[in-house]
Structure 1
Amino acid sequence: MRSEFRLAAVLLLVQLAVLIRFLSVDNEEDNQSLLLAGETIDFSGQYRIVHFYKHLGIPQNYNFYDLTLATQCSVNHLHHLVELAERWKGPISCGVFAPNLDASCADDAIVLLRRCFPYVKKHVTFHLVYPSEHPADLSQVGSWSDVRCDELLGRLEKFGKENYAAEKIPFPHNVLRNAARLGIITEYVLLIDIDTVPNLNLRTDFNSFIEKSLLGRPMFDRTVFVVPAFEIKLGFSVPGDKIELLEGVKNSTVRPFHNETCWWCHRSENFDLWKKIPMHSRLGIAFYADWDKSWEPFYISKRDVPLFDERFRQYGFDRIQQICELHVAGYKFAVLNNAFVVHHGWKYKGKFYASKDADNAQNWILFNYHFKDNLQSKYNTSRTCSPLQIWTPSNKRRGVPNPIAIGNARVISRFKPNVLAPKGEARD
């Protein structure tokens, strides 16, 4: 709880600084802007966060009543920002993982992306994150200075390693997500993966929807607006609207997100119902969805919704835990009628990094034995992410998984047996 208060305090101080400085400048000077920068640490002290890295300033015509797109990535995924910025045409806040010499490449990439792509320069703010034990090394800044604009995106895509394999440094998804979240200066935020693209005009359509619902805003104080998620085969263009999306589904180039790897993770978005609702001229609420224990939706919310728990790293429960907290805190999940996001490429089984099962099991223990039960006392509620289940005699159970061995303890898990057993230890 202390970590959440600390993060909230940081955000509040930043916003106060923005507003005080904004109100103090001469409104007739159109080129006047506020420069921000600051460094802090995550709640554990293991990661350092540089907010508003190489910030170009907040223009005087910025609008608080707007929707910011927040995202996070390692350096080799920064190339996705070009498509996002050109489609979004509004504020974007991006957390970038930059340990060791990756920081030099991140610095060069930020400079070149701004130089080559006007929408990135105009709309994207960056926030660097690196482990305290692997500090950002800027000694090779400028080594990309001869890269041409037509070479940049390809160079970025081929840079380094995938997130999970980067020098065996745990990828801090939730630290990065919070860095991006705390870097927004608008009322609403949509947080998505860097390789996920929203439909055309989502930002302007949502702003119009909220403006027209101004009188009903109090009813939305505990509501998040779910944006259904899909995935498209590589080599095909991302649909612009719902009609094009459903045509892609019909042609078997588009399917619901994680359709093969975790279809139940988006089951609550009820695609069969959503696709039957005709595309409307205005964005609105299609229906309210029920929370599910495996659900990890993308959604638009006010910026004051609970932050992500930064103890969850690598793969597993890193987003489920935050949706669980929204459920316990009493939020409603309103699915939007026309909105969607599309992930580049289909997800396939077996395409994960080597230590995924061990990371998933570790996060399962954290989620079930340390995180979710504390939420009831935090919110003083009987609402829970631990629904009661009917006990079944052992001789009547089917598919009961083997336990994980951790020393002398035995922990029942739905994951592969013994993935946490020390190397060399006999396995059952």
Structure 2
Amino acid sequence: MFRLLDLLISLVLLTLVPRINCLQNGTLAKLKRFVNCEAKNYKPSEVIYRDYWVLQNYVLAGHGSIPCYANVTYTSHADYRYLDNVVPLLERWRSPLSLAIYAPGTDFEPTIRSILYLLQCHPGKHLVRELCSFHLYFDVEHLPQVVLPPDTSLREQANCSGPAPYENVVKSDMYRTRNTLNYPVNIGRNIARRASLTHYVLASDIELYPTPGLVRDFLNFLGRQVLGVPGQQRTSPMVHALRIFEVKANVSVPSSKSELQELLKSGEAVPFHMEICEVCHRGPGLEEWINASVVSKELNVFNVGRRSENNSNWEPIFLGTVDDPPYDERLTWEGQRDKMTQAYAMCVLDYEFHILDNAFLVHKPGIKQPGYRKTIFSQTRRTDGLISRKISKELRMMYGFRDGCVI
């Protein structure tokens, strides 16, 4: 009875995922013709990468192999404390999620239990099973005691009667905290993006929730306007940036720009990190974007910017591709500036950031306060030194130099 119910729910979910039959006439054919990509082998694998052991595709999504040109993958990173965001994210995204989880030492066991809880117990488990690929990674010097093959590990039964293992976790009790391990955020970002089965990706943070229907609208938008005419080449590479906002803890995440505008007027929503690092997320034309009336239900470009001059410290999050510059894996979350090196490379390469009009990201409810920055980022000097002594020179050797581009 329960298996039949699971099957019926899964079939319903398949109609909600923005696949081929949700695209406008001719869009799929255009995507297939113009997107230069190849299908990847979708199976679990183990690799030693730098100083980490990576279990890629440890949990496979139920969607199986998909055409690389016909969808968009949300690529992200986390440790198990943040897995409460998986279902809220998927409820809005409804497309593939490639998630890299840092799980050193004894953090590996609660990570597995958390994944099993999402797959077996959570009311949104069908979304997780269908859409989410999990990749696990840990330092080779901080191995778990036991790493079972995925087929064996995933046959274990989760404890559905108790709280989720990722709830109410005390950070000081975690293995990585007790062993003073920095969070290798950019390793996770690159693992998740490399594992994407699709050419187009949204490389973002797991607490940032997208506008519902974004993938469908974006692919239709590409089919209408962006892919162009055969033989025409753009003079500059291009990605599509998303505005980012925060809402108060007791406020629901808005699903449309008109809802967002009302929350901004009432003070229940604010631009992302405006009290922590305003220049990092403002970007060009923010006020005009906020105050613009919503006319078209279709997705369009509101304005175009570059990461230079007045926006030289901008850290845009964008719909791009697996071929965009990678994140520097020597930079950790604790040291801050972890996305700045990628942004510098994109500046030198003269990337255009086409900011979308009716799509955005909203952080999990709860607005960060200025004190948050002071209590967390204790290693910025080390990062600043590493960038100035070594990384900046390497970036100039690899990508060159352009006036107005800064790290």
Q: TM-score range by the shorter chain?
A: 0.7 to 0.9
Corresponding residue number in structure 2 for 1:204: 216
Distance 1:223 1:290, change over 3 A: same
Moved more, 309-318 or 368-377: 368-377
Q: Aligned match of 1:36 in 30, 43, 46?
A: 43
For residues 36 and 326 of structure 1, what CA distance do their matches in structure 2 show?
32
Q: Aligned match of 2:128 in 116, 120, 130?
A: 120
For residues 37 and 366 of structure 1, what CA distance do their matches in structure 2 show?
35
SS in 1 for 2:137: strand
Q: Aligned match of 2:270 in 255, 262, 277?
A: 255
Distance 1:15 1:156, change over 3 A: farther
For residues 235 and 78 of structure 2, what CA distance do their matches in structure 1 show?
30
Distance 1:185 1:68, change over 3 A: same
Distance 1:166 1:177, change over 3 A: farther
Corresponding residue number in structure 2 for 1:286: 302
The share of aligned pairs that are identical, in percent, is 27
5+ residue gaps, structure 1? 1-13, 19-34, 388-428
Corresponding residue number in structure 2 for 1:169: 181
Tell me how far 1:195 sits from its aligned partner.
Answer: 1.1
Corresponding residue number in structure 1 for 2:248: 233
For residues 137 and 352 of structure 1, what CA distance do their matches in structure 2 show?
35
Corresponding residue number in structure 1 for 2:290: 275
Tell me how far 1:276 sits from its aligned partner.
Answer: 2.9
Q: Which letter maps to 1:91?
A: P
Tell me how far 1:86 sits from its aligned partner.
Answer: 1.4
Tell me how far 1:249 sits from its aligned partner.
Answer: 0.5
Q: Which letter maps to 2:254?
A: P
Deviations 1:311-344 (A, max 9, x none): 1013311011111111112211111111110112
Deviations 1:205-264 (A, max 9, x none): 111111212325843971111101111111211000110001110111100000111111
Say which structure, 1 or 2, has more relative contact order (CA 8 Å, 6+ apart): 2
Corresponding residue number in structure 2 for 1:312: 331
Distance 1:355 1:239, change over 3 A: closer
Deviations 1:164-216 (A, max 9, x none): 84641110000000011111011111111111111111111111111212325
Q: Aligned match of 1:342 in 341, 359, 362?
A: 362
Tell me how far 1:69 sits from its aligned partner.
Answer: 0.7
Distance 1:329 1:60, change over 3 A: closer
Moved more, 100-109 or 180-189: 100-109
* Contact map agreement 1:225 1:336 (CA 8 A) in 2: yes
5+ residue gaps, structure 2? 1-36
Tell me how far 1:99 sits from its aligned partner.
Answer: 0.7
* Contact map agreement 1:317 1:367 (CA 8 A) in 2: no
SS in 2 for 1:351: helix
SS in 1 for 2:279: helix
For residues 233 and 106 of structure 1, what CA distance do their matches in structure 2 show?
29
Corresponding residue number in structure 2 for 1:193: 205
Q: Which one has a bigger Cα radius of gyration?
A: 1
For residues 17 and 68 of structure 1, what CA distance do their matches in structure 2 show?
14
Q: Which letter maps to 1:270?
A: G
Q: How many residues align?
A: 353
Give the TM-score, by structure 1 length: 0.76
Corresponding residue number in structure 2 for 1:102: 107
Tell me how far 1:362 sits from its aligned partner.
Answer: 1.0
For residues 197 and 150 of structure 1, what CA distance do their matches in structure 2 show?
27
SS in 2 for 1:157: coil
Corresponding residue number in structure 2 for 1:369: 389
Tell me how far 1:151 sits from its aligned partner.
Answer: 3.2
For residues 351 and 178 of structure 2, what CA distance do their matches in structure 1 show?
36
Moved more, 159-168 or 307-316: 159-168
For residues 103 and 235 of structure 2, what CA distance do their matches in structure 1 show?
37
Corresponding residue number in structure 1 for 2:228: 215
Distance 1:208 1:195, change over 3 A: same
SS in 1 for 2:397: helix
